[in-house]
Amino acid sequence: MFEETTIQLADYQHLFFIIGIISALIFLLSLVAIPAVIKRLPTDYFINKKPPNTKHWLLRILLSVIKNTLGLTLICAGIIMLITPGQGLLSILAGIFICDFPGKRAFEHWLVLKPSIKKCLNWIRRKQDCEDFIIY
């Protein structure tokens, strides 16, 4: 049985190689993108929700579709990275933060109130000469 499984996995060796390359690229991208996003967030992001700046309804819908597609892609990539090299949990969380769904603000607030998460976010902001997040 073990031999049979090994033979079947050998048939997909090229697929595992491609998944490994994609996982490594997403890992490198996340090392750059996540701190950049954390830096761009306003200090009152977790206590103040501002309406979208786009006035045209079609543009607002298009941006929403793009944002949710990107979020779902990150969630799916994160799930794949749970079993391959990469930052799976971090990608899943980034995807959740990008997507729009009911209860998202409450989930974000609950998560950022955790001392370790709050400390990590503020550490990243301090490294980039930004003020700490206002969280309460």
Q: Is residue 135 part of a domain?
A: no
Write out pLDDT tens, residues 9-19. Answer: 788 888 888 88
Write out pLDDT tens, residues 65-109. Answer: 999 999 999 888 888 878 876 677 777 888 888 898 888 888 888
What is the residue whose two structure tokens read 């930052």? Answer: 87
Q: Is residue 93 part of a domain?
A: yes
Provide the 8-state DSSP code for 132: P
CB 85 within 8 A of CB 24: yes
Number of domains in the chain: 1
For the whole model, what pTM was predicted? 0.64
Question: Which residues span the domain enclosing 115?
Answer: 2-127
Q: Is residue 92 part of a domain?
A: yes
Provide the 8-state DSSP code for 36: H
What's the CA gap between 40 and 34, in Å, rounded?
10
